[in-house]
Amino acid sequence: MTTFFRTAGLAAVLALTAFAAQAQTTLKLAHPVPETDLQQNLALEFKRVVEEKTGGEVTVQIFPNGQLGNDQQMIDGTRAGIIDVSLIGLNNYTGLVPEAGAFELPFIFPTREVAYKVLDGAPGQEVAKQMETHGLKLLGYGENGYRNMTNNRGPIRVPDDLKGLRMRVNNSKALNDMFELLGANPQQLPVAELYTALETGVVDAQDHPIGVVVSFKFNEVQKYLSLTQHAYSALGLTMNKAKFDNLTPEQQAAVTEAAKAAIDLQRGLVQAKEEEMIAGLEAEGMEVNRDVDAAAFQAAIKPVWDNYVAENGDVLLNQVLETAK
């Protein structure tokens, strides 16, 4: 009998220990932008739903504003399991999945609805499948938004207005190719260094979605905002695949549901608040122009699409165009 109680007691202790370990699962979520950005809203909603759906068995700790490194460092950290979840511009993953550059091609998504259809559909899932081979579980595509140009020289209405501008660019090859083709001088810089670079004249211009212009306060060092909407930027919400696989099926379902809820919320907020943010920039002294000759830009950038196909083939691109119909 004593042996029985000892065994039963040991089993109970082990069960409690296992439960405690499960209850202490914490996911570290990192993103590169300030807490004032709508990406933080996505992170907070993800945290709320995960914790609610798991009854507190899984908690989420958010590290905003590049606290855990720049974009590439966060991707590397997530692949290594040092970071559990990252929310980063999709362009930063093209080093791992070059074909994903199709989503970054200028003017490929005429509307947000088309972008959502492609990203949430077969093309987006194909990229997600390829990310798994690099140790990443893609939970979904958040919205950075349509990229627009700011500078200190004057309004940008036609392609020639870009000639000679020292343009900060991200690591999207398509956008680098576009600015070079249009006569600007593209210079890659991390977003964390961009405010100072604009302030000191290292670069004259940059392109980002409206929310990023606001959250990084680029209007303080840029005079002109041109609503070129030349490219749509998605966010990749990715998780360390081994960490995801080690969760219980119920916890995996909670994480998946939380990602969808958070992305839906953030996409809605971006759309609802964009015009309000533009009005706020105007009120603070930015000169905003909407009279952009989109047709002229679209005609001028055709070689960028040709370059993409030459380097990556046209399989994913054709899938994108077919899904977008």
Mean pLDDT, residues 113-125 taken together: 98
| pLDDT above 60 for 2 | no
241 and 118 Cβ atoms separated by less than 8 Å: no
How many angstroms from the chain centroid is the CA of residue 184? 25
CA–CA gap between residue 38 and residue 204 (Å, rounded): 26
**Pair 216, 191: CB distance under 8 Å:** yes
Q: What is the pLDDT of residues 306-315, one digit of tens each?
A: 999 999 999 9
**CA nearest to 138, candidates 148, 123, 128:** 128
Collapsing DSSP to helix, strand or coil, 32 comes out as: coil
DSSP 233-286: EEEEEEEEHHHHHHS-HHHHHHHHHHHHHHHHHHHHHHHHHHHHHHHHHHHTT-
Tens digit of pLDDT for each residue in 66-115?
999 999 999 999 999 999 999 999 999 999 999 999 999 999 999 999 99
208-218 tens-digit pLDDT: 999 999 999 99
Q: Confidence band (pLDDT; 50, 70, 90) for 297?
A: very high
Mean pLDDT for 153-161 is 98
Task: Say if residue 17's pLDDT is above 50.
Answer: no
Looking at the chain, the number of H-run helices and the number of E-run strands are 13, 9
Supply φ then ψ for residue 259, to 5 degrees.
-60, -45
Q: Which residues of 75-103 are buried (b: 16+ CB within 10 A; e: fewer)?
A: bebbbeeebbbbbbbbbbbbebbbbbbbb
**Strand pairing category for 136-151 and 205-209:** antiparallel
Total residues found in the chain within this entry = 325
Per-residue pLDDT of 259-273, as tens digits, reads 999 999 999 999 999
Per residue in 194-234, pLDDT (tens digit) is: 999 999 999 999 999 999 999 999 999 999 999 999 999 99
